[in-house]
Amino acid sequence: MTVEQKRVVATEIPGPRSVELHARKNAAVSAGVGTTLPIYVERAGGAIVVDVDGNQLIDFGSGIAVTSVGNAAPRVVERVREQVADFTHTCFMVTPYEEYVAVAELLNELTPGEHEKRSALFNSGAEAVENAVKVARSATGRSAVVAFDHAYHGRTNLTMALTAKNMPYKHHFGPFAGDVYRVPMAYPYRWPTGPDNCADEAFATFVEMTHAQVGEDNCAAVLIEPIQGEGGFVVPPPGFLPRVAEWCREHGIVFIADEIQTGFCRTGDWFACEAEGVVPDLITTAKGIAGGLPLAAVTGRADLMDAVHSGGLGGTYGGNPVACAAALGAIETMREEDLVGAARRIEAVMRPRLAALASRHPAIGDVRGRGAMLAVELVEAGTKNPDPNLTAAVSRACHAEGLITLTAGTFGNVLRFLPPLVIGADLLAEGLDILDAAFAASAAS
């Protein structure tokens, strides 16, 4: 690793060169493209991001759960270097290459279930979700898709329809794709009759609404994130996912797990579905799969994936050889460095620290997540009223001290943590100290 794994705050954050670049950004880039933290990146390695002013920030975001193997991970860099010198593109649909096939083989092997599988590769998470729906529709001859409250599935037209939250994802962008239905998510903290009733009641409501408003025979797919990402790291209570999957199986409905944010060791398993032994019919992956290069996939039952007519799935860049090489390097890193174990060790350190923080700050209503995908939900003390302002203030205070944090949640009141799985114990502890101080300062003001 060429970047020293050390936090450095050399200037105000953002520093003068970043401020200059941000002015250029505002003059050149569409206002529609937002910025969480306007420091401009010069280099990054492992769990440190270096900006153009010489600041070195601790990364608790991993570019939204992408660089799980660390930024510019050595095996990823090496494979990409070799591949880019060999050839950059041919289009897999025109003249194929081994790297794509090798990634598909690994996906078929690593995703849950021992059944025969096939994969297809794409460029982005949204594209993978769109294609999973295409496969489900083609294989079942049905069209309806059921999605959940607080879901996030992307920004294309169909995936906007599948995403729950209006601002900023959908506002003024309709009309959206049809035949999409939404049901309540099993969200223990906010379940009206309390967390203990959540699994049973949410399952019953899902069945009732799907039966009454869609009809099982019209339903091609049920699409769910096993732990919701953008929606605020909502973890459904034990038993909910297995029952939904089983009910889908009984009715010939394709159960699609969107593991774009949860996949590839993030939650302390290769895939989040494994925690409850859930075997999805189709699974969508992206983000962590390729250590920072754009790659996404749909993997699933061979009978479903092969039901599509030849030529029905594809795209110019899907499974680009450089992105595939990166994926081979990332997956090798996950295996060689036991990143499943690393995610569990991160949880073992972070969860007690977050719980301790919650005991001191009544604004923390809930601590949740799994593995290295943890979050706190912030409310007005003594209520469950979301507090997005405090959430933003704490996040900003972290940024000012050189810690990259992200927010999430339908109500913008969730502070989420997605450190690279290779983060060292010292940086992890230092990041948590900064968070602690940020809470103390923001809660006091």
Distance CA 192, CA 122 (A): 39
* CB-nearer residue toward ligand PLZ: 126 or 350: 126
- Choose which of 39, 121, 129, 198 interacts with ligand PLZ (CB under 6 A): 129
* CB-nearer residue toward ligand PLZ: 64 or 440: 64
> Which one of 153-161, 181-189, 314-322, 382-390 is the stretch in contact with ligand PLZ (CB under 6 A)?
153-161
> Is residue 225 a contact point for ligand PLZ (CB under 6 A)?
yes
Going by the DSSP 8-state scheme, the letter that residue 224 receives in this structure is E
- Choose which of 55, 62, 261, 413 interacts with ligand PLZ (CB under 6 A): 261
For residue 419, which of 59, 37, 71 has the smallest C-alpha distance? 59
Beta carbon of residue 14, minimum distance to ligand PLZ (angstroms, whole number): 20
Interface with ligand PLZ in residues 313-342 (CB under 6 A): none
Distance CA 253, CA 131 (A): 16
What residues have CB less than 8 Å from 81, skipping those under 6 apart?
Answer: none
Beta bridge partners of 8: 56
Number of residues that bind ligand PLZ (CB under 6 A): 16
Beta carbon of residue 309, minimum distance to ligand PLZ (angstroms, whole number): 25
For residue 438, which of 329, 385, 363, 340 has the smallest C-alpha distance? 363
The two tokens of residue 280 are 């999805």
Interface with ligand PLZ in residues 22-81 (CB under 6 A): 64
* CB-nearer residue toward ligand PLZ: 152 or 264: 152
* CB-nearer residue toward ligand PLZ: 15 or 231: 231
User: Which amino acid is residue 253, in one-letter code?
Assistant: I
Interface with ligand PLZ in residues 264-293 (CB under 6 A): 286
Distance CA 281, CA 198 (A): 25
> Is residue 154 a contact point for ligand PLZ (CB under 6 A)?
yes
How far is residue 46 from each of residues 54, 67, 81, 326, 423, measured CA to CA in Å? 17, 8, 18, 15, 7
Question: What is the per-residue DSSP string for 261-330?
Answer: TTTTTTTSSSSGGGGGT---SEEEE-GGGGTTS--EEEEEEHHHHTTSPTTSS--SSTT-HHHHHHHHHH
Beta carbon of residue 323, minimum distance to ligand PLZ (angstroms, whole number): 12
> Is residue 125 a contact point for ligand PLZ (CB under 6 A)?
yes
> Is residue 300 a contact point for ligand PLZ (CB under 6 A)?
no
> Is residue 226 a contact point for ligand PLZ (CB under 6 A)?
no
H-helix or E-strand spanning residue 118: strand 117-122
* CB-nearer residue toward ligand PLZ: 163 or 442: 163
What residues have CB less than 8 Å from 313, skipping those under 6 apart?
Answer: 120, 131, 134, 135
> Which one of 199-207, 225-233, 360-368, 430-438 is the stretch in contact with ligand PLZ (CB under 6 A)?
225-233
- Choose which of 45, 226, 229, 402 interacts with ligand PLZ (CB under 6 A): 229
Beta carbon of residue 360, minimum distance to ligand PLZ (angstroms, whole number): 31
List interacting residues with ligand PLZ (CB under 6 A). Answer: 64, 124-126, 129, 152-155, 225, 229-230, 258, 260-261, 286
